[in-house]
């Protein structure tokens, strides 16, 4: 992407058909790009243009630790010797804002207007 200044570690293109892809940088941050012909950007974003002249909205992401309670096979929380629930932490990439997908135009409802009648020639 011309103009992108991050040092790219890897690119995730699994959602490319839906109009988005994610670039992960070597410093641990990331940027998610959304196709502006499919998504309506909102909030704080940057605009990049590819070689074909297509516009992409870029949202910066960051890693965040997410806490999950460990459960057994029945869904009950597993506790330690003190009776506290055990937890495990997972690091995931989070994006503060995500754009809204542009909806297809809705079909107009029939208003019941009839076509005008022609005058009869005499």
C-alpha to C-alpha distances, 118 to 112, 113, 114, 122, nearest whole angstrom: 18, 15, 12, 12
Please tell me the predicted confidence (pLDDT) of residue 91. Answer: 63
Q: How far apart are CA 67 and CA 87, in angstroms?
A: 7
User: Domain coordinates of the chain in residue numbers?
Assistant: 8-98
Per-residue pLDDT of the chain (122 residues), as tens digits, is 677 777 888 888 888 888 889 888 887 788 889 999 899 888 888 899 988 888 999 888 877 777 777 788 887 877 777 777 777 766 666 777 778 888 887 887 777 777 888 888 77
Please tell me the predicted confidence (pLDDT) of residue 35. Answer: 92
Q: How far apart are CA 60 and CA 29, in angstroms?
A: 8
Residue 8's nearest CA partner among 21, 18, 23 is 23
Please tell me the predicted confidence (pLDDT) of residue 1. Answer: 67
- State the distance between the two ends of the chain, measured CA to CA, in whole angstroms: 72
C-alpha to C-alpha distances, 79 to 46, 69, 73, 74, nearest whole angstrom: 46, 10, 14, 14
Please tell me the predicted confidence (pLDDT) of residue 95. Answer: 72
Residue 47's nearest CA partner among 30, 61, 64, 33 is 33
Please tell me the predicted confidence (pLDDT) of residue 6. Answer: 75
């Amino acid at each position: 992407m011309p103009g992108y200044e991050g040092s790219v570690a890897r690119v995730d293109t699994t959602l490319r058909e839906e109009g988005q892809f994610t670039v992960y940088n070597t410093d641990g941050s990331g940027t998610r790009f959304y196709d502006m012909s499919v998504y309506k950007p909102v909030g704080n974003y940057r605009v990049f243009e590819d070689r074909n002249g297509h516009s992409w909205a870029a949202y910066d992401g960051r890693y965040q630790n997410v806490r999950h309670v460990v459960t057994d096979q029945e869904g009950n929380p597993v506790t330690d010797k003190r009776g506290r629930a055990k937890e495990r932490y997972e690091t995931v990439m989070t994006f503060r804002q995500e754009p809204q997908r542009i909806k297809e135009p809705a079909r107009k409802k029939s208003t019941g207007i009839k076509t005008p009648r022609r005058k009869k020639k005499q």
